[in-house]
């Protein structure tokens, strides 16, 4: 699927599509965001300027702001962002895709960027494009946390709700080209330091 098709489908999606726990209860859904914010806080320094890329309706961005982070929540769907603003004024929202986000930021750089359940829905080409934009939005030495799954049988998602998986070799090559150094962590997502790309 093209990035445009994925973006359009998410903009029209029922809010229950965001996370399986939303079909259990709203309480379980928001609690999962708090738990994941606490996990992110184990690798992102206190008070950092962070970007939640593909933030949805703020499941993780809102608890990150409550932990004291300066959060910029970016999503292609204004409907998602409106739901954040209804809940809290503490999160800056930006309606954009990866390219729009880059022009919104200009020369400003984030201490940390995370993208949870976003890259997984995109093709290999679009995912690499988004990650290179996220890397460019991160200061040198900053942290990126990417939900970017590896599989022994990598395959591209076949629908907007599907999951694209990668081989470890594909990721190693992409990291060198984009400027990401893998960081050991106990988190269930890839954690990277922003470094200069290999020439
Ligand atoms: C599965 S939801 C995840 C929301 C949130 N990250 C979470 O974990 O609760 C995917 C979100 O990513 C957004 N999204 C998907 N592709 C995007 C893109 N290329 N640029 C910006 N936002 C995107 C969708 O609008 C949707 O809100």
| Closest protein CA for atom 13 of ligand 1 | 54
| Closest protein CA for atom 14 of ligand 1 | 54
Give the Cα separation of 177 and 198 in Å (integer).
Answer: 6
Q: Determine contact, residues 77/97, Cβ cutoff 8 Å.
A: no
Give the Cα separation of 19 and 117 in Å (integer).
Answer: 9
Ligand 1 within 6 A of CB of 72: no
User: What sections of 75-139 are H helices per DSSP?
Assistant: 78-87, 98-105, 124-136
Flag residues of the chain having pLDDT under 70.
none
Instruction: Report which ligand 1 atom has the smallest distance to the Cα of 98.
Output: 20
Domain count, the chain: 1
Phi, psi of 98 (to 5 degrees): -60, -40
The pLDDT assigned to 198 comes to: 83
Residue 163 forms part of a structural domain: yes
- What CATH number has the domain bearing residue 42? 3.40.50.150
Residue 44 forms part of a structural domain: yes
- pLDDT tens-digit profile of 33-80? 999 999 999 999 999 999 999 999 999 999 999 999 999 999 999 999
Q: Determine contact, residues 113/141, Cβ cutoff 8 Å.
A: no
> Which domain does 45 fall in, by range?
3-194
Residue 135 forms part of a structural domain: yes
Average pLDDT, the chain: 96
Q: Per the confidence metrics, is the pTM higher than 0.85? A: yes
Residue 199 forms part of a structural domain: no
């Amino acid at each position: 699927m093209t990035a445009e098709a994925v973006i359009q489908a998410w903009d029209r999606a029922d809010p229950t599509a965001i996370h399986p726990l939303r079909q259990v209860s709203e309480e379980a859904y928001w609690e999962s965001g708090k738990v994941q914010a606490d996990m992110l806080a184990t690798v992102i320094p206190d008070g950092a300027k962070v970007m939640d890329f593909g933030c949805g309706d703020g499941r993780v961005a809102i608890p990150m702001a409550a932990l004291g982070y300066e959060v910029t929540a970016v999503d292609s769907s204004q409907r998602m962002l409106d739901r954040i603003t209804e809940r809290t004024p503490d999160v800056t929202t930006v309606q954009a895709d990866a390219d729009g986000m880059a022009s919104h930021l200009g020369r400003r750089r984030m201490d940390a960027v995370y993208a949870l359940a976003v890259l997984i829905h995109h093709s290999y080409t679009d995912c690499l494009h988004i990650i290179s934009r996220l890397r460019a939005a991160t200061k040198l030495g900053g942290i990126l946390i990417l939900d970017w799954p590896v599989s022994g049988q990598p395959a591209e998602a076949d629908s907007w709700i599907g999951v694209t998986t990668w081989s470890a070799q594909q990721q190693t090559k992409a990291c060198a080209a984009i400027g990401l150094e893998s960081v050991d962590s106990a988190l269930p997502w890839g954690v990277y330091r922003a470094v200069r790309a290999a020439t």
